[in-house]
Amino acid sequence: MRGEILNSLNLRVWHEINFPNGDRIVDAWPLDEKHWPSCDSANRNVYRVNPNNQIVWQVRRNENGFINWDARNKNPTIINPTFTNGYRDPFANMGTQFFIRRPIDENRPHHPKFSYELFDAYAPGRLLGLSTYEFEYDLDPDTGIAVCTGIPVK
């Protein structure tokens, strides 16, 4: 639940969505909401946990060519004086429903349009939306891979 502390991670649940089997996906933040233990923990702050709060996976990001981490890490955002060796771009928002995206204009590959079918419950093949402060991502709840869509956050 929102505000719950995940002791094994020393992070607080900010958003969550539940699965029928009791697992849940959580977007977790530092207890004070600003001091991350590392850049990796900031950039991979979404987890799937089982009913005993054991980690099933920690999100892996596929930037799909939209973010160049090497360039960003050369000019890191200082988020904690104890480390300045990386850029921080945590997931700040998470969808409240699963979805399937279907293209509705197959003839325009560079500017595709999509329709979305929303679902309250998880089933294989359904995705979950995530966003950082910059881009939207499609999360596969089975694998934990979040793919950058290139759609800027408004």
Does residue 139 surpass a pLDDT of 60? yes
Confidence of residue 111 (pLDDT cuts 50, 70, 90): low
Q: What is the pTM of this model?
A: 0.82
Residue 8 has a pLDDT of 79
Residue 15 has a pLDDT of 92
The residues with which 129 forms a beta bridge, in sequence order, are 138
The share of the chain scoring above pLDDT 90, in percent, equals 44
- CA distances (Å), 90 to each of 34, 44, 67, in order? 11, 7, 13
Confidence of residue 105 (pLDDT cuts 50, 70, 90): low
Sketch the domain layout of the chain as residue ranges.
5-152
pLDDT in tens, 9-68: 888 999 999 999 999 999 999 888 777 777 778 888 999 999 999 999 999 999 887 776
